[in-house]
Structure 1
C-alpha cells in the first residue's frame, strides 16, 4: 500500500504549524496533499482509511532504543517490534554498535528492518554488549577515539551521534577519563554526544564510593559543546538532574543556557517524583525516547540466551512495561502541553538528528512516514518502577503507521496495557 487516503483525522504537524481536521493523501509513498482533499479525482488504486477521532502525526521518532538484536544479548530488542509494530517509524539505537561491530549492525539491523534505524555509535570498543553489564569493558582503555572517528567518517550518512555514560559506578572507577574521550569524539566529528546520567553500574566491591554523585553533572558539562544531549533527567538513580537532597542540580539551567539539550530517555530509570521536581523548576526536555530493551521489557528469550542476567536486579528489577506512546501519555499526565509532546517525538527529534525537514514532517513531497494514534479521554493509572502511581485523563496509543507509504499495524506484543483507574 503506497497510495492511501487517511480521511477525517486530526492532523498535527508542528513543522508546518498545522493542527486541524482534514485528510492526508499519500501517492507513491510520499505525502501528496494535506487538508481538504478532493476525493473525486482519486482513482481506484487508492485505499481509504477512516481516521475520524484519531491523531494523524508525522512518523514518530523514538530517540532512545536498544535494538542490536542477538549481538547485544537479551538487551537488544527486535527493531520492528519497537518500531513500526509499535507505531514508530524511526528509531535511534543508543550505543549498540561500536567501531568494531558497526558493519554487522548495518547488514543485520539497518538493512533488513522495515523501521528506519539510526545509530548513535558507542564511544566504547565493545558497544552495548550484554547491555553494559560488565563495567570493566567500559574503562578508558576500551574507548578508542581514532578508531571511532574512522568509523564515523566512513558512515556519515548513517551515524548521527555518539553514546557515552556519565554515572557513579564509572566515575568511582575511572573518574572523568572516559567522558573526556567521548567529548573529544564529539568535537572532532561535530556530532552530538548523548550522555546517560544516573547510576548504571554497581559500585566496586572493594574501595566503596569516594565520589559525590552531585559532582558528576558539574564535571561533565564543562567538557561538552552546544547540541550535546543530557539523557535521563527524570532518573530515579543518583548522579543526575536531582541532587541527593532532592533539589534540581544548580548546574542544569546553566547547561541549558550553554546550548545543551535534554532527552527524557524514559526507560526503567524513570521516576514520576523526579520528573515533578525537574518540571516544577521550569526545565522542559526537548525530546522523548522510550529506552526500551530486553532487560526492562517482557519479551520471549531467544534460543541460547540466558533467561535472566545474574546482575539484573541491580537496576532493572520490577520493570513496568512501556512504549514511546505510553511515555507520551506519561508526559501529558505530568502536565507537559500536548503540542510540546508532539514536538518531542517529531520536529525536535528530527533536529536532534540533523534531519529537520527530512523527518518529523507531513510536508507535501516528503516521504510518507505517518503515525496514527488513538486519543482517548477517561481515567487511567500510570505507575513507575518506584511504585508511584499517577492519574491520567488522556491516553495515547498507536493504531498503525505508514513507513514510506507502507502500512504497518501496531500489533507488537510488548505494547503495554494501561490500567483503568
Structure 2
C-alpha cells in the first residue's frame, strides 16, 4: 500500500464546508482521511510539509483549448495547462465536434495525465485554428442531429455544448446559429456555453446592422436554466457591459432565470469591466483560464498562421496567465478566497455534472489535490488594456496529485510574478 501525507496545510473544501489547518492522507490514489495530526496513524507514509500552503480539491479549469495539433496553433498541450500547472481537470471548450470527438478521446483523453473533458462544438468543424476561417461557422455548418447523437454516445466526456454569440456572426446570419446551438443543448439535455465577443472579421460594409447592446437579450431569450454565459469581464462590446459603460439591464434577470456565469479569463479580460460587473452585484459562478496558442508563449506548429486576425486573440506582450493566476486576479478584485476556491472546485464540478466524483476531498474519492503557494507582498497585475492593479496576495501552483500521482508545477506557460 502506498501512502502520501500532506501535512499542515490550509485545507479548503467548499463542498464539505471545510476551511482549517489539517492533514490529508492519500492511500493507493484515494483520499483516505482528512484531519489534524494524522502522522501517527500513517508511519510509513511519504510526508510532504504543506505548512503555509493551500491544499485544495484538484482544480478544474472550465475553459481550456487543448485539442493539440488538430485545432492547429490554437490547441495547447493538455498537461502543460493541466497537471503541470496545478490543475487536475480541464474542460476543452469547443475544440472537438461530432466529427472529431473520436480523435479527441484517443489522442488526448486516453494519453493525458490530466483529466480532459469536452464541451462539444455546435459546429461540424469544431474550433479549428480558433475560428480562423469564419466561413466555416455559418448555419449550414451545424448539424443538430449529428451533434446530439455524438454527445449522447460520448456522455462520459461530453459535458456540454459550446456556441458563440459574436458581432461578426450576428452581422452575417443573425440569431440562426444560436438557435441551432440552443436546440442541440435542449435535445442532448446538456448545458450550452455561450461565448460573448466580436468574431472577426468585423462586420463589413453592407452587412446586417448590429447594435452590440442588443445581442445579450437576444441570446438570453434562447437559453434554458443551467446554460452558461461566459466572459462577463470581457472588454468586447455585446456582452455583460453596454457601450455606455453600465451593466446590461437583463443580466440580473438572466441570473434569476437560472443561467450561470463563467469567467473565461482569456486575453480580453478587463479589470475595468470586472469592476463594473462586480460593483453591480453580479458574482460569477466558475472560473476558466481560456488559454490558447495565440495568447500564450508556446512554439507554433509548423505551417500555422503567424498571428490571429482578431487582435483581441493575439498576445500583446502584457499578459501571461494560468488558472491559478486568474484566481489571484479574482482575489485582487475583492472576491473572497473561499468563493474563488469554489469557482474552481465544487462549482466547476457541478458545471461538469460530476459533483459526485470531482471537486472535493471527500474520503473515498480519487485523490485529485492541488497545492498552492499563498504569498504576501506587493505585485503588479496587468490586463491587455494596460490597466494595472496592485495586489498584496499571490497564488501560484506548487504541485498536484492526480489519482494520487504527484505532478510538479513546471509548465513553461506559467506566468512570472511582477513585483510592485
Give the TM-score, by structure 1 length.
0.97
In structure 1, what is the equivalent of residue 417 of structure 2?
418
Distance 2:106 2:201 in 1: 34
Which residue of 1 is the match for residue 321 of structure 2?
322
Q: Aligned-pair distance for 1:3?
A: 2.1
Contact 2:60 2:89 (C-alpha < 8 Å) held by counterparts: yes
Structure 2 residue 391 is the aligned partner of structure 1 residue 392: yes
SS of equivalent residue, structure 1 residue 98:
coil
Write the distance in 1 (CA, Å) between the matches of 2:29 and 2:408: 17
Report what 1:32 is aligned to.
Answer: 32
Q: Deviations over 1:20-46 (max 9, x none)?
A: 1121000010000101243233253x2
2:217 corresponds in structure 1 to 218
Report deviation, 1:18. Answer: 0.6
Deviations 1:350-394 (A, max 9, x none): 011111131110000010000000000110010000000011111
CA contact (8 A) 2:346 2:360 kept: yes
Q: 1:12 to 1:400 in 2, by over 3 A?
A: same
| Aligned-residue offset at 1:269 | 1.4
Contact 2:6 2:47 in 1 (8 A): yes
Q: Does 1:279 align with 2:278?
A: yes
Counterpart residue number, 1:10: 10
Are the structure 2 counterparts of residues 209 and 382 from structure 1 closer, same or farther at C-alpha, using a change threshold of 3 Å?
A: farther
Deviations 1:273-313 (A, max 9, x none): 000000000000000000000000001223x2336136253
- The CA deviation at 1:134 is 1.4
1: distance between equivalents of 2:17 and 2:277? Answer: 28
Partner SS state of residue 351, structure 1 = helix
Which runs of 5 or more residues in structure 2 are unaligned?
none
**SS, match of residue 135 in structure 2:** helix
Structure 2 vs 1, CA of residues 114 and 214 (structure 1 numbering), >3 Å: closer, same or farther? Answer: same
- Larger mean CA deviation between 143-152 and 306-315 belongs to 306-315
Question: 1-side partners of 2:256 and 2:15: how far apart?
Answer: 24
CA shift for structure 1 position 267: 0.4
Check 1:397–1:166 CA distance in 2 against 1; reply closer, same or farther (3 A cut): same
Match of 1:161 in 2: 160
Summarize the alignment of residues 87-126 of structure 1 with structure 2, pairs less than 5 Å apart: 87-126=86-125
1:47, CA displacement in angstroms?
1.1
Distance 1:310 1:376 in 2: 36
* Cα offset, 1:89, TM superposition: 0.2
Give a deviation string over 1:139-177, Cα, whole Å, max 9, x none. 000010000011011111111000000010000000000
CA distance in 1, matches of 2:305, 2:156: 36
1:66 corresponding residue in structure 2? 65
- TM-fit CA distance, 1:133: 1.5
- Pair 1:57-2:66 in alignment: no
Contact preservation (8 Å) 1:381, 1:420: yes
In 2, Cα distance between equivalents of 1:38 and 1:338:
26
RMSD between superposed Cα atoms in Å: 1.3
State how many pairs are aligned.
419
Contact kept in structure 1, 2:286 and 2:348, CA below 8 Å: yes
Indicate how the Cα distance of structure 1 residues 2 and 402 shifts in structure 2: closer, same or farther if over 3 A, else same: farther
Quick check: 1:402–1:408 contact (8 Å CA) kept in 2?
Answer: yes
1:201: how far off? Answer: 1.9
| Corresponding residue of 2:309 | 311
Distance 1:156 1:47 in 2: 37
For normalisation by structure 2, the TM-score amounts to 0.98
Structure 1: gaps (5+ residues): none
Q: Give the distance between the partners of 1:177 and 1:29, measured in 2 at CA.
A: 47
